[in-house]
Amino acid sequence: MQGILHEELSVSDPSSDFMKDYQTLARQSWEAFTRQLQPPAATNPFAPPAFAGSGNDTLERTLSGLKGYFDWMQGVAAGSSGTPAPAADWQQQLRQLFAGATPSFTQAFAGIDTAGAEGFAQQWQSWMQAAQRSGLGDVPATQGPMPAFGLNREQQMQQQAMSVAVFESLQASARYQALIQRANAQGMERLQDKLAEHAEPGRQVDSLKALYDLWVDSAEEAYAEIALSDEFCEAYGEMVNTQMRVRQLQQQQTEQICQQLGVPTRKEVSSLGERLQALRREFRSGRTTSSDSHADEVMALRHELAALKRQMAAGPAATPAAKSSAPAKPSRSTSAARKAATKAVRKTSVPKNTAAAKPSRAPVRKSAAGKVATKVVRKTRASKTKPGPIATPRPSLRKRK
């Protein structure tokens, strides 16, 4: 990192003692900072070496944005002559201040180096190298698919499809990057406009941080305007779609190689997962239906038991009398119980291998634990409620009329 610093440190007036002092200070400060990034010396000489992905490398990557800011501050400080520029020259001065640092800021738009946003060009290069090593042959031209024939016809066609897909993807990526650059340029124009509003005593920008913040506001505004445009949205969609097409073709080729080597593939695992999830849905649906049915039976039997208890409680005389008399009309509950019991018997008598034995896939509203959800009609409740006011002073509450 120190090396980079030295290379990028461009000072407009090297003969100035002031700037020499500044350079020394900057170097020492940054070195002090980077020393903090170094992992501490191992106290145990037998300790294993540090993991390559940890320590200063991780922190350096994390703080790369700070480095950009730091470089920019240096550039601005070096470009500041100390003498206030004439009013007509300040725009020129501004361009000079940002000229050296602009690439750093451009990176802020697109320089996030994560696995999810891996630079596509690098990814493509590494893939092609791997493809060549694994025997997929040379990369065909990108002009479009050519006729192929013979034993390896399919592979040739796939390779050509891949080549076309990569070409299209790189084109889409370039279109996207062009829009990002346009946002960057428009951000600078907006900055000039904003600065023009500060050309009065008392409103002048007198610190690096204030200038930086103003630039961020300008750049974000310009970016947001472009990012919401139809042109950008189309370019964004095209970039994503073309990248996915390349990935998909990569996966297909990988699958083929894995199949030849007898290695289980992601497609197979995914397919198993899909079937498993479908089975889980069916199982849960069936279990819920079954528990609903059992709950109905239990409820019906409870009603029947309650009716019998009532008959018993009515006294011994009531029972013979009931026997001798004409059969009474069954109560609703007993009737329901019998119906349910009959239904249950019918259900259990159905052979398991028939279609009727399959659990229903219809959505079920009951709880997994088997508890019957009581249906409550409460649709008019809302209109009956008398909401009280909310005594919150600050936020604005708007009640629909």
Partner 1 sequence: MYTPLRIDPNKAVGDIAAFQRKLATGMGYLRTMREPEYANTPRELVYSEDKLKVWHFKGHGTPTSKTPLLIVYALVNTVWMTDLQADRSMVRNLLEQGEDVYLIDWGYPDGADRWLTLDDYINGYLDRCVDAVRQRHDLEAINLLGICQGGAFSLCYTALQPDKVRNLITMVTPVDFHTKDNMLSQWCRHMDVDLFVDTMGNIPAGLMNYVYLTLKPIRLNQQKYIGMVEILDNPVELENFLRMERWIFDSPDQAGEAFRQFIKDFYQGNKLLKGTLQIGDRPVDLGMVTQPVLNIFAEQDHLVPPDASRALGKRVGTTDYTELAFRGGHIGIYVSGRAQREVPPAIHQWLRARS
- Which 110-139 positions form the footprint of partner 1 (CB under 8 A)? 110-112, 114-117
Smallest separation, CB 80 to partner 1 (Å): 4
Question: Hey, which residues between 212 and 241 contact partner 1 (CB under 8 A)?
Answer: 212-213, 216, 219-220, 223-224, 227-228, 232-234, 236-238, 240-241
Binding track over 66-85 against partner 1, x by CB under 8 A: x-xxx--xx-xx--xxx-xx
> At CA 18, angle to CA 14 and CA 23, rounded to 5?
65
CA dist., res. 253 & res. 235, Å (int) = 27
From residue 373, alpha-carbon distances to 212, 295, 330 in Å are 61, 11, 27
CA dist., res. 282 & res. 362, Å (int) = 10
Which of 4, 15, 184, 221 minimizes the C-alpha distance to 102?
A: 184
Q: Which is nearer to partner 1, 26 or 337 (CB)?
A: 26
Cα-only R_g, the chain: 38
For residue 159, with 0-12 CB atoms within 10 Å meaning exposed, 13-18 middle and 19 or more buried, which class applies? buried
Smallest separation, CB 287 to partner 1 (Å): 12
Only one of the segments 30-38, 141-149, 151-159, 314-322 lies at the binding site for partner 1 (rule: CB under 8 A); that segment is 30-38
Structure tokens at 159: 């390779």
Long-range contacts of 8-11 (CB under 8 A, 24+ apart): 8/71, 9/74, 10/75, 10/78, 10/100, 11/78
Q: How many CA atoms lie within 13 A of 255 on its CB side?
A: 13
Which of 164, 171, 193, 16 minimizes the C-alpha distance to 94?
A: 193
Question: Hey, which residues between 140 and 169 contact partner 1 (CB under 8 A)?
Answer: none
Smallest separation, CB 104 to partner 1 (Å): 9
Interface with partner 1 (CB under 8 A), residue from 41, 44, 206, 354: 206
Q: Does position 53 bind partner 1 by CB under 8 A?
A: no
Only one of the segments 126-134, 159-167, 196-204, 327-335 lies at the binding site for partner 1 (rule: CB under 8 A); that segment is 196-204
Q: Which is nearer to partner 1, 140 or 187 (CB)?
A: 187
Q: Which is nearer to partner 1, 81 or 125 (CB)?
A: 81
Question: Hey, which residues between 253 and 292 contact partner 1 (CB under 8 A)?
Answer: 266, 269-270, 273-274, 276-278, 281, 284
Only one of the segments 109-117, 154-162, 255-263, 325-333 lies at the binding site for partner 1 (rule: CB under 8 A); that segment is 109-117
Q: Which is nearer to partner 1, 338 or 361 (CB)?
A: 361
Residue 6 CB contacts under 8 Å (≥ 6 apart), including other chains: 27
Q: Which is nearer to partner 1, 216 or 299 (CB)?
A: 216
Long-range contacts of 373-378 (CB under 8 A, 24+ apart): none
Q: Does position 1 bind partner 1 by CB under 8 A?
A: no
Question: Hey, which residues between 345 and 374 contact partner 1 (CB under 8 A)?
Answer: 363, 365, 367-369, 371, 373-374
Interface with partner 1 (CB under 8 A), residue from 7, 17, 138, 200: 200
Structure tokens at 365: 């509203």
Q: Does position 14 bind partner 1 by CB under 8 A?
A: no
